[in-house]
Structure 1
Amino acid sequence: MPTSFDGLQFPIPSSSHKASSSQTGKEIIAEALSMVDHQSSQKALAEKNWRKRYPHYFKMLVEQGIRNGIHPITIAKQGLHKAHHSFHFYRNGQRYLLKDMMNDVKIENLYTIKLQGENDAAPEWYVPYKGEKLKGQALLAQIQHWEDTGIIEPSHADALRTAQSHPEWFNLSDRTLVLFGAGSEAGPLTWLSKWKANIVAVDLPNQRIWGKILKTIQQGNATLYAPCSEKLSPNTSTAILKEKLGADLLTQTPEIAHWLSQNEHQLDLAAIAYLDGEKHVRVSMAMDSIMQHVSQQKSDTSLMFMCTPTDVYAVPKEVITASRQKFQQRSKTQQMISKTIATVSGQYFFKKNRHTLITSENGKEYGIADCLVVEQGPNYALAKRIQQWRATLARHSGQRVSINIAPSTTTHSVTKNPLLKAAFNGASLFDVESFEPETTNAIMAALWIHDLRHPESVANPETHLDHPLELMMHGANHGGLWRVAYLARSALPFAALYGFANQKLRLDKMIGKQKK
C-alpha cells in the first residue's frame, strides 16, 4: 500500500528535513527570470516575505516576457527545467528526481475498462445561463452583451460565435480526449459525454468520484476508457467498477504516462485537475510530466489548459485603454467614495490600475493586467504558471495547444473560502461577472472544440502570432477583471465587504442608481 510519502513530493533540504513550498517556488521563479532579468532573479531568491510579495515577481515574469518575443520561451524553458530538477518522486522507499522518474521507476500495469453510453441523442450545444438554455439568437445576443460590457474579449466572442455556427464540430466520435481530473466541477466531462467523444478519464480511485463519472457516461452517448489497477471482466457491474476504477496522478504518475503512451489513437490531453494548497503545485507537475512524456512518444498529441482570471497577464493595448477610460469615467459619487475609502485604508483599497504600456521588440505595445489575488497564495500562482509555461513551450515546438482564460466560477473549491465567496457576490460593483459552473463548463468545452477544429485557431501552431504571449490573450473570458478601473486585489476586499453587506441590505439597488 502506498504511504503518505509515496509519489510526487516537494524537495526536502538536508539542512531542515522539512519541505518548503515557498523556498521551492522562489527557486523556480528565480531560475525562470535568471536569463532575462538577473537582478529580479536574485531579489526573488533573497525575498523574506514570499507569501505576500510573490505577485511582484510573477509580474516581472510577464513584464520581461513582453519585451522580447524569445523571452517567454526562455522563461518557460528555465522554469520547467528547474521544476523537473527540483521535485522528487518516491516509490517503495526509493527517491528519484522527477526528471528521471519515467525511466527509473518500475512501472506497474494499468488495465483499461471500456463503457458505452446508453443514449443515442445527436450532439447539441447550448449555454445554461440564469435558468435558461441559451441557443440560436438568444445565445448570440448574450455573447454580444458579454462582449459589449467587457466581460469577454472579442476573440472569445468570435470563437463562441464560430462554434455555434458549426454544429458538426460537436460530433467528437473521431477524437480521443483525456481528462486529468475528469470529475472536476469545472471540467467538460458532462458536455463531452453528450458529444459522442471517446473519453479517457483519469481521476482518483474514489467511489463518489467514479459513481459520478459512470452515471454521467451512462446518461450520454460517449465512450469511456478508464484506468484500473486490476484486470476486470468486461461485464463487471457499475457497483463494482466505481470501487475499482481510477489512478492517482500523484502516486501513479509513470503508470498513467505509460498507459496513455500505449493508446493507439491521437490524444487530446486536458490538464484540469485541481487540489488545494501545495498539492495543486504537485498535481500540476504530475500532469506536466505525463504530458511531456506522452508528447515525446506521440508527437500528434494536443494539449489543453484552462487559465484562471486571477493571475497576471500580458494584454492588448485596447484592454489598457478600456481600463483607463473606466477609471476616468467614474461618476463624482464613485470618485468621492473610492478616494475616501482609499485614504482611510492607507491606500489599501482602490489602487489605480497600472495603465502604462510596454513596447515589445516586434514594435507592438502591450499592457499588463495584474489580477493576482494575494489570498490565493503563491502555490496556486505557481501551479497555474507551470501550465502556461508548458503551453508556451509546446506550441513553440509545433504542438496544438488550447489554453484559454476561464471566468471566475462559483465552484465549491472557490466558494468554500468565505472571502472569495463574498468577493464574487460583490463583484458586480466593479462590472465583473462570476459564472455558475454549468455556464463555465458549456463555454469552455465549446472553446476547446473550437481550438481543436478551427484551422485558423491560435491553438494551431501554424497560425501566426506576433508574440508568444498572445496565445493567452486570445479567447479570454476574464469576467471583466482585465478592464476594471482599479488594481483587482485592491478592490477585492471591498467587493467582499460589499458582498457580505449586500446579502443583508440589498446594496446593489442603491449602487445601481449611483452608476446611472
Structure 2
Amino acid sequence: MTSGVVFPVSDGTNRSTSALGRAVVADALRAADPVGARAADHETNWRADYLVHFRRLVEAGLTSGDAARAIAAAGLASLHDRMRVAAADGAEVGLREAFDGTPAVELGTAVVAGDGEPDRELSLPYRGERLRGDALLRRLDAWTEAGVIEPGCAEAVRAVQANPDWLDLSDLRVAVLGAGAEMGPTRSLLRWGADVVALDLPRPGLWRDLLETVRRSGGRVHLPVPAGHDGGGDLAEVAGADLLHQLPAVAAWLRGVQGRLVVGNYVYADGAVNVRVCTAVDALTEHLRTHRPDTALSFLATPTDVFAVPAEAAAQAERRYHESSLLRTLRGPLRMVSAGRLLRRNYAPGADPGVCDSLVAQQGPNYALAKRLQRWRAAVARQQGATVSFKVAPPTRTRSVVKNRVLAAAYAGAPAFGVEIFDPATSNTLMAALLVHDLRNPPPVREHVWQEEADGAAHGGLWRMPYAPRSALGLAALLGLGGARG
C-alpha cells in the first residue's frame, strides 16, 4: 500500500494521476479562463493531450499579472486541497493537516566542516577548462550573442564576478532539498564556504560522496540524523530523511535551523512520484514561510516548458527563420510531407511577448505539473514579499535526460538548430552563481509574471531558435542518432 504524500482516491480505490492533473489545471484556470477550465475538465486523453492545457495556463495570464498570480494561487490551493497524506495503517489526512500534532520521528543534526579554504573567485567549468576572469566574460558574451542565454543572465554573472565578497554566504543557511541532485548548487556553495543544510534520501552512497565533497571544501554541512545520534561512526549510514514519509519531522528539523533560511527546491523523481515529492516540498515551503516569514526560496525551472519571452528574443528567432541555410532549403518539402508538423516557425511576426512552447510530450503530464507548481509558488511567494530566485536552467545532459533515448538523441542533434546542451557541472555552477546574485539583489515584483520568469534565463537557445522546439524535436533526434552511429 502506498503511504506518505499520495494522490487522492478518484474512483473506488484508484488514485489517478490524470484525474488529479486535470482537476488542478481546471481549477487554476477557472476564474481567469472559464473556457480553458472547461476544456481541461472534459479532456478525455490527458496523458496525450495535456500539452495544450499547460500552454493555456501561461496564455491566460499573459496580459495581466493579476490574472497570472490568481492562476498560480488557485492551482496551488487546488493541489493542497486535494492531495492526501496516508499512514502505513491506511489512515489518511489532508495535506494541510500533515503538520498538526507531534512528528512520529524526531531528527537531530550532525555538522561536518571542510578542511579547505573558501574559494572567493567565481569560475565556471566548461568543456574541460575552468573559466575565470576575462575567459569567463568572453564565454558570457559568446553565449549572449549566440542567443544561448538572455542578456540579464550574463549581467548577473558579471556582477557576481565583480563582487567576489557576495560568494560569502555565511550570513545564511541554505537548505538544499535534493542535496545530491546533479543540477543543485551544493558543491558550488560548499566550495564558496557556505553553510549548507543538506536534505536528501537516506542513501549511504549519496551521503558518502557528499561528505567527501564537504571535507575537501571550505564550507560546512548540516545533515539530518536520528535524534540522539552522537555524530560519530559512519554518518553516511544514518544520514538523510524522506520527504514523502517524514514530512512533519523534516518541517520540525528545518524550523530549528539557526539563522536566516534559504530553501532551495532541487528534488526530482521519476513519473508520478515526482508530483508527490514536489507537492511535499511545496507544503513544507508554505509551512516554513508561515513560521519563518523571512525564508527565501530558490527554484530551477526546466527549459522544456511553456514560457512567454521578450519581444527581442522572438525577433531574433524570426530573423533566423529567414536566414539562408540547408534547413531553410529543406523546410518546404519537410513541411509538406509532415502535413505542417515539422519546422514550424517559433513565433508569429512581431510577437510581443512571444510564447515559446518547449514542452516535450515524452516527459509526460506528471513532470509538467511538478515543474508548474514550482513556478506557481515562486509567483505567489514573490508577491507576498519573499526573496525568490527563479531561474530557467539550460538543457543539460543529466542522468534523468540521457536515460530517455528520444531525449538523449534530440539533445545530441540540438546544436544543428542553434541549441547548446550543457554538461551538469557547467549548469549547476552557472545556476549557483545566479542564486548568489538573487540573494544579494532580490528580484523585484514586476508588472507581469512572465517578465519575472524570463529574467536572467539560461534556456540554451530554445527561446531564440527559428523553429518551434517540438516541431524540430524529431529531426534533432534523427540527427542525434545518426551522429551516435557515426
Same fold at TM > 0.5: yes
Query: What is aligned with 2:322?
Result: 328
Cα distance between partner residues in 1 of 2:275 and 2:372: 10
Matched residue type, 2:42: A
Counterpart pick for 2:369 among 351, 357, 382: 382
Task: Tell me what 2:295 maps to.
Answer: 301
> Aligned residue for 1:266?
260
Q: Structure 2: any 5+ residue segments left out of the alignment?
A: none
- Tell me if 1:90 matches 2:90: no
Q: Residue 247 of structure 1: SS of its match in structure 2?
A: coil
Work out the CA distance in 1 between the residues paired with 2:134 and 2:345: 38
Give the match's secondary structure for 1:128.
strand
TM-score norm. by structure 1 comes to: 0.91
Correspondence 1:496 to 2:483: no
Q: Give the match for residue 99 of structure 1.
A: 96
Q: Could you say which residue in structure 2 is the equivalent of 1:197?
A: 194
1:341 aligns with 2:325: no
Task: Find out whether 1:70 has 2:63 as its counterpart.
Answer: no
TM-aligned CA deviation for residue 192 of structure 1: 1.0
Which residue does 2:449 correspond to in 1? 468
Q: Distance in 2 between matches of 1:321 and 1:161?
A: 25
For the residue of structure 2 that corresponds to 1:82, the secondary structure is helix
How far did residue 104 of structure 1 move? 5.0
The corresponding residue for 2:164 is: 167
AA matched with 1:387: Q
Map of 1:444 onto structure 2: 431
The amino acid across from 1:341 in the alignment is L
Question: Structure 1 stretch 65-74 or stretch 385-394: which is displaced more?
Answer: 65-74
Q: Distance in 2 between matches of 1:345 and 1:69?
A: 38
Whether the 8 Å CA contact 1:173–1:195 is kept in 2: the answer is: no
Q: Is it true that 1:311 corresponds to 2:305 in the alignment? A: yes
Equivalent position amino acid for 1:203 in 2: D
Task: Say which of 233, 253, 256 aligns to 2:230.
Answer: 233
CA distance in 2, matches of 1:393, 1:418: 36
2:30 paired residue number: 34
Cα pair distance change 1:261/1:230, threshold 3 Å: closer
Q: Structure 1 unaligned segments of length 5 or more: list them.
A: 359-364, 506-516
Bigger mean CA deviation after superposition, 101-110 or 315-324: 101-110
CA distance in 2, matches of 1:345, 1:25: 31
Which secondary structure state, in structure 1, belongs to the residue aligned with residue 354 of structure 2? strand
2:60 is paired with a residue whose SS is helix
Paired with 1:495 and 1:404, the residues of 2 have a C-alpha distance of: 25
Q: Which of 115, 119, 126 is 2:116 aligned to? A: 119
Quick one: which amino acid aligns to residue 366 of structure 1?
A: P
Return the alpha-carbon distance in structure 2 between the equivalents of residues 104 and 278 of structure 1: 28
> Take 2:316 and 2:485, find their aligned partners in 1: how far apart are those partners?
33
Amino acid at match of 1:53: D
> Residue 486 in 1 paired to residue 467 in 2?
yes
Matching residue within 223, 238, 262 for 2:220 = 223
CA contact (8 A) 1:356 1:367 kept: no
Offset, 1:105:
6.5
Residue 427 of structure 2 aligns to which amino acid in structure 1?
T
Answer yes or no: is the 8 Å Cα contact 2:61–2:71 preserved in 1.
yes
Q: Which amino acid aligns with 2:78?
A: K
Cα deviation, residue 314, structure 1: 1.4
Alpha-carbon contact 2:22-2:41 (below 8 Å) kept: yes
Q: Root-mean-square deviation (CA), in Å?
A: 1.4
Task: Single out whichever of 405-414 and 164-173 deviates more from structure 2.
Answer: 164-173
Measure the CA separation in 1 of the matches of 2:147 and 2:452: 19
Cα distance in 1 for residues equivalent to 2:158 and 2:199:
31
Displacement of 1:118 after TM fit? 1.6
Deviations, residues 215-247 of structure 1 (Å, cap 9, x unaligned): 11111111111111242113x13xx21110100
Identical counterparts, % of pairs: 37
Are 1:291 and 2:285 counterparts? yes
1:179 maps onto 2:173 in alignment: no
Partners in 2 of 1:495 and 1:350 — Cα distance?
11
The answer to whether the 8 Å contact 2:317/2:347 transfers is: no
> Could you report, residue by residue, the CA deviation over 1:156-176 in whole angstroms, capped at 9, with x for unpaired residues?
111111111111111222221
8 Å contact 1:199–1:224 — kept in the other structure? Answer: yes
Tell me the CA shift for residue 464 of structure 1. 5.0
Conservation of the 8 A alpha-carbon contact between 1:124 and 1:194: no
1:103 alignment partner, SS class:
coil
The whole-number CA distance in structure 2 between the counterparts of 1:321 and 1:40 is 28
Q: Determine if the alignment matches structure 1 residue 153 to structure 2 residue 140.
A: no
Provide the C-alpha distance between the structure 2 equivalents of 1:477 and 1:106, rounded to a whole number of angstroms: 40
